[in-house]
Chain A
Amino acid sequence: MVKQVRQISGVSCTVQLSKRILSDRIVAGTVRIHGPNFFWLKRRSQLDNARKMSRQTARIADPKKVNSELFTLTYGALVSQLVRDYESVDDVNKHLERIGYNIGIRLIEDFLARTNFPRCHDMRDAADKIQQAFKLYLGLSPGISNWSNGNEEFSLTFESTPFAEFVELPDSCSNLKYGNILPGVVRGACEMVQMEVQSWIIQDTLKGDNITELRIRFIKKLEDAIPAGED
């Protein structure tokens, strides 16, 4: 069965699924991307049971849920396309962040409409909300740690990111920030609720670290953008 997947950037990839099982998980698959392959797929035969269970129960709750592997593969297609399109890996990092930013400024509305959260008034509050967002959109529960003294900087730590499954960085891309879309999404989303933040990845499992760590720092409140009735 062949599926055509379209991404916001207009990159499309053909995902070929050789065999499917009732639980909707891919047993073996290949992503065919024209040109040199940067990221290899590892065949994966087993999903840990906990994830399978949560996925199935969640599917009943939200009909919009899709298989995360589809997302993983599509994202992989996007990154490898960018690596081919740009001369330098730094440009790819920058571009991924920009794509993330553009997703973030739209995604925030979805998040607010779904959760009905009130405005955050401090960074701890915001950290909590960002953690919830990761749960909602990626099915992860990142840990919050390493608070700075002024409570304006913290880290989100992930055991594994859904992007990075099946991925091994080739030597030519050693300084590629593979998941650099995340800092962009966080920055864009916070900007729309009048918080300017800086966000960057400091540890990455793809680079051999034990965890993936996303650092988020509060810069300032965007006072002139605050909607009427909230100042």
Chain B
Amino acid sequence: SYELQYFSNRTFQSFYPYGNSNHIEVETERTFTYPMDIKLTFKNHRTSVAFGQRDGIFVGQTLLSVNGIPVEENRIRNEKLDDVFEFLSKPENYPVTCRFGRARLESNENLAVGSVFYSVFALASQLSPELHSSGIQYLETETFKLHCLQTLTGVKFFLISDPKLQGMDVVVRKIYELYSDYVLKNPFYSLDQPIRLQPDL
């Protein structure tokens, strides 16, 4: 599984594979009886699990829906726009079915991540004990590996992939080629603008 991010010199943006077909979404739905044994908290515009892990529900996951009705921030998207915490504190609303999962980054958050990474990239090259060091080429964690390709013109491509996958640097280069073919050769694309990909599937 992998995810593609793209940042240009002056704009930080990202695009994902069409339909995000490679991205594995882990979502779990559970029915709860009163009182709910999972502690929820509201931060960063999301209602998420603060404490209590069981049956595939993990700390940090976001509450996506209540009884099948989507949750936005801390509101249930029904006619009355019920507050989630109020709704779950009333015994008469139980049994209640909640769906938890990992929320996708919103476009604003993506911009923030992009601009932070941009600075970290520059910082890394300045911290280097050796002269003429590049920025971060890849960054590895337990769950993913991030490959970064900075072109001579200053465009950066990030590919987030499973750490076990090999040969991802070749994939990033290939993506650069596709970008130069399909994005830059489009006369209606003006440089440094977000890319709206419309793959012919």
Binding site for B on A (CB under 8 A): 8, 10, 105-110, 112-114, 116, 118-119, 192-193, 225-230
Of B173, B179, B191, which one neighbours A116 at CB under 8 angstroms?
B173
Find out whether the CB atom of B9 lies under 8 angstroms from the CB atom of A227: yes
**A193-B177 in contact given A105-B191, A106-B184, A228-B121 (Cβ < 8 Å):** no
Find out whether the CB atom of A193 lies under 8 angstroms from the CB atom of B121: no
- Give the complex CA separation of A228 and B173 in angstroms: 19
Assess whether B166 is interfacial by the CB under 8 Å rule.
no
Of B135, B184, B191, which one neighbours A228 at CB under 8 angstroms?
B135
Find out whether the CB atom of B179 lies under 8 angstroms from the CB atom of A113: yes
Distance (whole angstroms) from the CB of B26 to the closest CB of chain A: 35
Of A106, A112, A226, A229, which one neighbours B135 at CB under 8 angstroms?
A229
CB closest residue in chain B, given A228 = B122
Assess whether B104 is interfacial by the CB under 8 Å rule.
no
**A113-B133 in contact given A228-B125, A229-B125 (Cβ < 8 Å):** no
Which 8 pairs between the two chains have the least Cβ-Cβ distance?
A: A229-B125, A228-B122, A227-B154, A229-B135, A110-B180, A106-B184, A109-B180, A113-B177
Interface pairs (5), CB distance under 8 Å:
A10-B187, A106-B191, A110-B184, A227-B9, A227-B153
Distance (whole angstroms) from the CB of A137 to the closest CB of chain B: 12
Of A110, A113, A118, A227, which one neighbours B150 at CB under 8 angstroms?
A227
Distance (whole angstroms) from the CB of A215 to the closest CB of chain B: 24
CB closest residue in chain A, given B134 = A229
Find out whether the CB atom of A229 lies under 8 angstroms from the CB atom of B155: no
How many pairs of residues, A versus B, come closer than 8 Å at their CB atoms? 64
A227 surroundings in chain B (CB, below 8 A): 9, 150, 152-154
- Give the complex CA separation of A226 and B152 in angstroms: 8
Find out whether the CB atom of B173 lies under 8 angstroms from the CB atom of A112: no
- Give the complex CA separation of A78 and B151 in angstroms: 32
Find out whether the CB atom of A193 lies under 8 angstroms from the CB atom of B180: no
Find out whether the CB atom of B122 lies under 8 angstroms from the CB atom of A229: yes
CB closest residue in chain A, given B184 = A106
Q: Mark B169-194, 1 if CB is under 8 A from A, else 0.
A: 00001001101110011010001000
Distance (whole angstroms) from the CB of A224 to the closest CB of chain B: 11
Find out whether the CB atom of A108 lies under 8 angstroms from the CB atom of B153: yes
Find out whether the CB atom of A110 lies under 8 angstroms from the CB atom of B152: no
B173 surroundings in chain A (CB, below 8 A): 113, 116
Find out whether the CB atom of B191 lies under 8 angstroms from the CB atom of A112: no
- Give the complex CA separation of A192 and B132 in angstroms: 20
Distance (whole angstroms) from the CB of A105 to the closest CB of chain B: 7
Find out whether the CB atom of A112 lies under 8 angstroms from the CB atom of B185: no
B185 surroundings in chain A (CB, below 8 A): 106, 110
A192 surroundings in chain B (CB, below 8 A): 153
A109 surroundings in chain B (CB, below 8 A): 151, 153, 155, 176, 179-180, 184
Distance (whole angstroms) from the CB of A6 to the closest CB of chain B: 9
CB closest residue in chain B, given A110 = B180
- Give the complex CA separation of A214 and B58 in angstroms: 65
Distance (whole angstroms) from the CB of B7 to the closest CB of chain A: 11
Find out whether the CB atom of B152 lies under 8 angstroms from the CB atom of A229: no
- Give the complex CA separation of A202 and B154 in angstroms: 33
CB closest residue in chain B, given A9 = B187
Distance (whole angstroms) from the CB of A154 to the closest CB of chain B: 21
Given contacts A109-B155, A113-B180, A229-B121, 15 further A-B contacts (CB under 8 A): A105-B191, A106-B180, A106-B191, A109-B151, A110-B181, A112-B153, A113-B151, A193-B153, A227-B9, A228-B135, A229-B122, A229-B134, A229-B135, A230-B132, A230-B152
